[in-house]
Amino acid sequence: MIASETSSEPPGEQLVRLLHEHHARCREALSRQEERLRLAEQELVSYLDGLVKSLESQSRQRPANDVDHAEKFQPLLTALESAVRMIQEKGEALRTQDQDRSPTIAQLTAELAAMRQELVELRSIKDHLEQQLAAASQSRSENAEQWQRREAELKAEFEAEKSQWRAQWNNRESALNALVIRCSELEEELENLRSRGASEVSSDLQQRYDMAIAEIRELRQKNADLEQKLAQAGQSAMKQPVSTSSGQILNWEAEKQRILAALEAEAENDSDPQHAAERLRIQDVIKKTEAALAEKDKEIAELRRLLEDQSTNIASVAVGAAAIERLFDQDEVLREQREHLRQLEEEWKEKLRKAELEISLERAKIARERAILEEKQRELEEKLASLGSSKAPEEDKNKPGRGRWLSRLGINSPGHDQRENG
């Protein structure tokens, strides 16, 4: 317990305490020696007094024998004198020791005073350091709270970004899985198409192409008939709109012929099922456009019927061309129909441009995806070749290409997993 308390004290206080203890021990030893000396002196004095008294009584009782007693007591007196001298010498020695110890005590006292002064300074330094320590502890606690809050904020931000990246990763992984599944489905379709034979596919495509060509020819015939009937109306007021409409129709015919020629060239040069599906989709767009044009033809036929009725009425009253033109200009229905026809033409022009743009974007997207897939396929083939898998089992060669994308990407197909689990 004392050792633990001593070890916990500061060095200055421990030194001062040791000096106090040494000084107290010195004073205690000195006081004990002084007490022993005083007791020895008292005993010697009392012993000498007793001897003196006994000698005096003996001298009074026997005066005749003084010489004999003197001779008898001479050794005793000598011994007593020597004892007194010894005691005096011891007293002088003790006094000398006390005098010798006085400078040491004074030095220790001075050192004690210096140590006390140093202890006061150390205590002041200790108080200052304790104040600094308290301020540092308070600042540290405040900084700890701030760091804890900052750490909580950073953890929250980290968790949010982590969840966001995890969601993005899951979305990309699901998209990749969907792409892989789509690739496997396309491979299955390719195998099915190969099993059906190239002749059946080409006949199907040829049939669709013939149907599209027949529809286009029919539309051309209808447009030619309409153009001929409008030309036969003979009214100068309608020549400009008809020529404009026919010019737009001819522009559409030229654009359509260009698209069909491009499709025919792609069909001859490319046998990719994806491109075939793209061509079918473009043909569907053309069909929708043809249907819209057929609806437009109906409206034009209705307008033509109205014009024929009005021409008959005007011919019955023998009105000239100027009167017919004024009548057309004054007819609200015709003006509305003309405006409606122009709006329809503009709308279908815009729709055609959008369809061409969408088709171009879709083709570019398909080309990019195809390039990416080919690059991945090439990388996977290089990796497989580098791993030394040049010799594949014979049974794997005889299997169809189903699920090759899954196996190349290291993902088993659901059916394969079910067979393995079974």
% helix / strand / coil in the chain, to the nearest 5? 90, 0, 10
pLDDT band, very low/low/confident/very high, at 413 (cuts 50, 70, 90):
very low
Does position 42 have pLDDT exceeding 50, yes or no? yes
* 185: confidence class by pLDDT, cuts 50, 70, 90: confident
Q: Mean pLDDT over all residues of the chain?
A: 68
The reported pLDDT for the residue numbered 228 is 67
Query: Residue 414: pLDDT band by 50, 70, 90 thresholds?
Result: very low
Q: Any idea where the domains of the chain sit in the sequence?
A: 2-142, 198-390
**What contacts 274, CB < 8 A, 6 or more positions away?**
186, 366, 370
Residue 298 has pLDDT above 50, yes or no: yes
Q: Dump pLDDT digits (tens) for 117-148.
A: 877 887 788 788 888 888 877 877 777 788 88
Judged against a pLDDT cut of 80, whether residue 346 lies above it is answered with: yes
- Residue 6 predicted with pLDDT over 70: no
Confidence bin at 238 (pLDDT 50/70/90): very low
Alpha carbon distance, N-terminus to C-terminus of the chain: 76
The token pair at 406 is 């899954």
CA angle 153–154–155, rounded 5-degree value: 90
> Is residue 313 over pLDDT 80?
no
Find the helix packing angle between 239-269 and 198-232, rounded to 10°: 170
Torsion over CA of 301, 303, 309 and 313, rounded to 10 degrees?
Answer: -150
What is the maximum span of the chain, computed from C-alpha positions, in angstroms? 215
Residue 240 pLDDT: 40
Give residue 380's pLDDT band: very low, low, confident or very high (50, 70, 90).
confident
What's the whole-number mean pLDDT along residues 342-353? Answer: 79
Q: Compute the average pLDDT of residues 218-232.
A: 66
Q: What are phi and psi of 151, to 5 degrees?
A: -65, -40
The predicted model gives 294-310 an average pLDDT of 71
Angle at 117 between CA 114 and CA 118, to 5 degrees: 85
One-letter amino acid of 118: E
Q: What is the C-alpha separation between 191 and 402, in angstroms, rounded? A: 8
pLDDT at 343: 82
Q: Is residue 216 a contact partner of residue 183, using CB atoms and an 8 Å limit?
A: no
Question: Rounded to an integer, what distance in angstroms lies between the CA atom of residue 332 and that of residue 350?
Answer: 27
C-alpha torsion sign, points 95, 98, 99, 100: positive
pTM over 0.75: no
pLDDT tens-digit readout, 240-297: 444 444 444 445 666 667 766 766 666 666 666 666 677 677 777 777 777 777 777 7
Over 80: is that where the pLDDT of 167 sits? yes
> What per-residue string of b and e applies to 145-174 under the rule 16 or more CB within 10 Å gives b?
eeeeeeeeeeeeeeeeeeeeeeeeeeeeee
Q: Name the band, by pLDDT with cuts 50, 70 and 90, for residue 389.
A: low
Collapsing DSSP states into helix, strand and coil, what is residue 362? Answer: helix
Band of pLDDT at residue 61, cut at 50, 70 and 90: low
Element housing 62 (H / E): none
Q: Indicate the pLDDT class of residue 234, thresholds 50, 70 and 90.
A: very low
Closest CA to 264 of 322, 200, 206, 345: 206
Tell which wins on pLDDT, 112 or 357.
Answer: 357
Q: How far apart are CA 411 and CA 389, in angstroms?
A: 18
Determine the distance from the C-alpha atom of residue 74 to the mean position of all C-alpha atoms in its chain, rounded to a whole number.
116
Q: What is the DSSP letter of 388?
A: T
Greater model confidence, 161 or 322: 161
pLDDT higher at 60 or 36: 36
Average pLDDT for residues 348-368, to the nearest whole number? 79
Identity of the highest mean pLDDT range in 219-233, 310-324, 377-391: 377-391
% of the chain at pLDDT higher than 90: 0
Tell me the mean pLDDT in the region 61-82: 62
With a CB cutoff of 8 Å and minimum separation 6, the contacts of 235 are 307, 311, 321, 324, 325, 328
Which of 366 and 321 is assigned the larger pLDDT?
Answer: 366
Instruction: In whole angstroms, give the CA distance from residue 181 to residue 325.
Output: 66
Between CA 120 and CA 10 the distance in angstroms is 12
| 63: enclosing H helix or E strand | none
Dihedral Cα 373, 378, 384, 390, nearest 10 deg:
130
